[in-house]
Structure 1
């Protein structure tokens, strides 16, 4: 008796891929028997792994057929508009979404579109849109807003102050902070946030097994940094940390601009983005010899300062790794000496 064909969702296909990767040493036949699917279906799913991953991210896990709707460009513009509205804290219900969909359709030159309830249900499934009750909008119920982000920003700003002071001591004006430099400082700031700092705001928001909730744990006060006073800038370090609290982190894009970006003939990167990438790539990379000299400078500096002499083992470990890597890159084979 032949098995009844059952279309699998993208989520089910992902679980099959995960199960097959877990049982890497097993045969495909045994994996297929364990998953109760034909072996041919398993081979097809594994062969199309990359496309399944892309389609799952694009259409959601509940979709079976990875196909765009009849009004793909219009729906893509609607999703971008909805994402922007939710980022601005605007609640959008079904009635507003249907009204906006008809407006977008007219802007796209679609005259036969009707935003029915059936279309709305299919659109939500295709786009992964979920309606839920808006709650927890205040910082008192948002653990990240209650202190974690503030603490990370404080440490990030401290790194910037230290960088500025180091430049002043060298009597060199600081160059413009690149995106890569900012990413390194943000990563260092996040590494400096302690687990206790992350746990306290969650306790304040009610994630506490004991049931006790201390309001004093939630607030993360900004510790005044004496180094900030050396810059002779107006205001306090707390003002510096919160200087961009109310700054918009993204610009509001008009509906016409959103529609223009989803048109197939306007896809591509802008010249400004390409110029930024070229500027980042043009930064000079130090040579292997230069890096070894820098390590030697750090060692001599650590030897001269008792308060950081404990860094000497770390410096030695870095030097050993660099020398092994450099020796591996420069080591020649015996055949290299007998080239014609």
Structure 2
């Protein structure tokens, strides 16, 4: 047995406002059938004006900490594409809202792969004996990034937050995480991007198109890359663990698009009924999608103690990542 990170709690939060396909149909000159057929999404949640990513994150984190029976942690890690401000990081704000005191706190930015990068970072801190407990949150308010008239993307994205609490433990325990696989390819940065608002192109730059301050994505290329990189990353993790795909009880992939998830299960040879998905109810919640899917699987009673769970994600950067998790016995 060696020291590792062990998942001990999960939590999730969705803002109360629900936006259905019918709500979007007239605004975007589309239909419920068109959206469902191409994305598998029927509804998504929207944060109210004035609600920040830290607000969503704090709600999910509070639920996870209650589940863990903890009132403090050593480190807070937030995975997000939509921080409260460009500066400072949002994680310290969340720690303050939770009343955690002067704990270490930082943000991780890897778009839809961010939660996997956050898990790997937390695992590294625990294995290096730099922390005993880490709160890892994925939270997004994509309604602040996607132009409301963007027919391609406005139907896809939803707001929400998911969180897990990790503690130090040993390999072989229920809840143990690892091994990990992470990767990136910066040559594909234009496939998923917000062009303005950084040092390369200021949002206020004279002559800049304000549309550049909103999210854009090249759907066809993203589809191809997402399936390819998640498949390869997942297989690398299985190889590291000396396991086969048929030994996986549940696949939890980034909830990007129902067609991407189906293609991923096909490429891995994992039956679709062993893939946990909630995309129809929440849409693509980016860095929040995997923890929200885990919370969904736990709440619905799908995940049982001892189940081998394969997590894999793909996002802007381009970035990707995967890990394995032995599902623990959690309080409901």
TM-score when normalising by structure 2: 0.22
Between structures 1 and 2, the one with greater strand share: 2
Q: Which has the larger radius of gyration?
A: 1
